[in-house]
Chains A and B, each alone.
Chain A
């Protein structure tokens, strides 16, 4: 049995209006950062899973991402292994 720690990065899907990203971007000229564009704001969740196989642990995280961590209608996600495994 091992413990695997993951990050789940949740972002608004392409083409979905991101009012938070737009608001942050609108403030950037005040910081002299006119060269910055394409700001999008998402959310990051970190969690650990006890499992004998990384593939099983990842499948569980994938299920949680789709069922509670993100809303698949408007958000996509990326799962990264932070600790554990080979």
Chain B
């Protein structure tokens, strides 16, 4: 039962994600992006940072890293895949999640604490969150403005694909459509969000709400293994 954390050149939350996955009870390993396989990982995290310098567009070049072929196969097999911040940008660029993350409407790099409403508590990423609870997590991004054309966003909402929304008191930090902060793919096994659960994994850091998401992921991974085994 292992979590693989992918390291792109320019990733900078990889060690935080590794630490948080271990705190959540998983065996965890860093995976350099040049590898063609996932080292037997049962769940994969694409961490935050600035993969390939965010040149061209955030995530645009990382999408073509050698490891992404294995990530696609992992997702196609129903493997759990979580993209955090830059990792979310990579997953949208790769077409593994719908939409695109554009420059914040403020044109500023936005950082600070946000409050997240959880739209569903029945997913592999949120089942450990107490029903009705909101999450206090930090953000740090320049390109987090989620965009999807209206009809497609309607379809995503109808399919239960909007998983997290920015909520009061801080509200929406980046101008994203309908306050979307994180989405889920049609199969319910691939999730991306702009806020950083791994940076809110211990009370010492100001919040341990992020651990609810990481624990959900690790427990889902174990359950799946039990089913398969």
A interface list, Cβ under 8 A from B: 16-17, 19-20, 23, 68-69, 71, 73-74
Contacts and interface: CB of A to CB of B under 8 A. Distances in A.
Contact of A68 (B61, B99, B147): B61
Contacts of B105: 17, 19
Between B102, B104, B107, B147, the greatest number of chain A beta carbons within 10 A of the residue's beta carbon is seen for B102
A74 B61 contact: no
Given A68-B56, A68-B61, A68-B64, A23 B99 contact: no
B162 to A, nearest CB: 17
Interface residues of B, number: 18
Between A23, A68, A73, A74, the greatest number of chain B beta carbons within 10 A of the residue's beta carbon is seen for A73
Given A19-B105, A74-B100, A74-B102, A69 B147 contact: no
22 contacts: A16-B147, A19-B104, A19-B106, A19-B107, A20-B103, A20-B107, A23-B107, A68-B56, A68-B60, A68-B61, A68-B63, A68-B64, A71-B57, A71-B93, A71-B100, A73-B99, A73-B100, A73-B148, A73-B149, A74-B100, A74-B102, A74-B147
Contacts of A71: 57, 60, 93, 100
Contacts of B61: 68
A27 B147 CA distance: 26
Contacts of B100: 71, 73-74
A68 B63 CA distance: 9
Interface of B: 56-57, 60-61, 63-64, 93, 99-100, 102-107, 147-149
A68 B62 CA distance: 10
Contacts, number: 28
B67 to A, nearest CB: 17
Contacts of B93: 71
Nearest to A75: B57
Contacts of A19: 103-107
Contacts of B149: 73
A71 B93 CA distance: 8
A23 B108 CA distance: 11
A19 B102 CA distance: 10
A63 to B, nearest CB: 13
Contacts of B64: 68
Contacts of A23: 107
Nearest to A18: B103
Between A20, A68, A71, the greatest number of chain B beta carbons within 10 A of the residue's beta carbon is seen for A71
Contacts of A74: 100, 102, 147
B56 to A, nearest CB: 7
Contacts of B148: 73
B155 to A, nearest CB: 14
Nearest 7 Cβ contacts at the A-B interface: A73-B100, A19-B107, A19-B105, A23-B107, A74-B100, A19-B103, A71-B100
